[in-house]
Amino acid sequence: MAEFTMELNDEQKEVRDWLHGFAADVIRPAAAEWDEREETPWPVIQEAAKVGIYSLDFYAQQYFDPTGLGIPMAMEELFWGDAGIALSIVGTGLAAVGVLANGTEEQIGTWIPQMYGDASDVKVAAFCSSEPDAGSDVASMRTRAVYDEAKDEWVINGTKTWATNGGIANVHVVVAVVDPDLGSKGHASFIVPPGTPGLAQGQKFKKHGIRASHTAEVILDNVRVPGSCLLGGKEKLDERLARARERAKQGGERVKNAAMATFEASRPAVGAMAVGTARAAYEVALDYAKTREQFGRPIIDNQGVAFQLADMRTRIDAARLLVWRASWMAVNGKPFTAAEGSMSKLFASETAKKVTAQAIQILGGNGYTREYPVERMHRDSAIYTIFEGTSEIQRLVIARTLAGMPIR
């Protein structure tokens, strides 16, 4: 087990500086254009593929960093560049992780390369879980997958929403209900291969922020996929369902806590995204306050501005520390006895909203215009308190954990 440390090693620093350079030189100059276009920034994704950032190998290296700091460090730097473009770059990782976590070696080797493509022909993938009536309440999921034993096929019907890359993806990973009596433990994940009949893009959402990231509904109308597209395989699914049924008879606490632990482990990555956006806005505000003069002196000399900057920096550093602690705990198998994963996501996401709003205030009228990036950063920051569990859900998780109550 790696000891918790606040000091990056030489290799981590090298990766951090490399990512920062890409974010500064490639992502940030393109941010305003793709925000206005509200389209997937394919040229930027292609550049990321050329240098090795948009690849499974890169994210696997960061994911298996024994200190736990690889992923949060990478997310912070990319989202420092721009949240919308960064989400377009890392969005495929959601689907890839789903396959890595649940798939067989053959499925991993077959499908993940098709999710990314290559530098000359980049592809994206989509992870489809949320539904119009099942966001935070995953037990309300209605998309059904029924096994056709005669043809060894699964038939999937339902509607997914808020799917990053939904409809434009080469490969879709779809979560569906296979046993409605087991709640979230009756779910399974399926690969929907390219060109499968019955899968279509529904509404594409015109969003307040992260506009360079494609978000849409995915309609599944009698989608048939081979039995080999069930992640993990039928035998493993049957064994898991049998265990879940037995546990349900004995009392469902262990099932609920296992699900909570899974969510807890993924939330620090979102917190790191929020830290990156907050840090970017803070740096713009700090530079502006040092150079903008009013009444014969830089505005940073005014206590009202200086104190805001002091609070912004303090919150950002505190948020990063919570994210790093939770990331280290997750990698090293430390139990989240006080919902530390939710703590990191809650505090970091709320920090991003507050810091970006303060940055606009420091820039005054200039901050309210699109000539300065803090306006876009403020719009982007709103998503962090919504996806991967709203701030209200994070508080519920933390409060119930502290009270020793089950998570529902």
CA–CA gap between residue 14 and residue 4 (Å, rounded): 20
Radius of gyration in angstroms for the set of CA atoms belonging to the chain, rounded to a whole number: 22
Q: What does the DSSP assignment read for 134-161?
A: BSS-GGG---EEEEETTTTEEEEEEEEE
**Alpha-carbon torsion (217, 221, 227, 228), positive or negative:** negative
**Residues 249, 252, 255, CA angle at the centre, nearest 5°?**
120
Contact by Cβ (8 Å): 98, 231: yes
Residue among 71, 80, 17 at smallest CA distance from 277: 80
Catalytic residue status for 388: yes
40 phi and psi angles, rounded to 5 deg = -65, 125
> Element (H or E) spanning 370, and its range?
none
Burial class (CB within 10 angstroms; exposed 0-12, middle 13-18, buried 19+) of 242: exposed
Label residues 263-282 b or e (16+ Cβ within 10 Å = b): bbbbbbbbbbbbbbbbbbbb
Which segments of 276-393 are extended strands (E)? 293-294, 297-298
> Element (H or E) spanning 72, and its range?
helix 70-81
CA–CA gap between residue 395 and residue 392 (Å, rounded): 5
- List the catalytic residue out of 76, 77, 350, 388: 388
Show which residues are catalytic.
Answer: 388
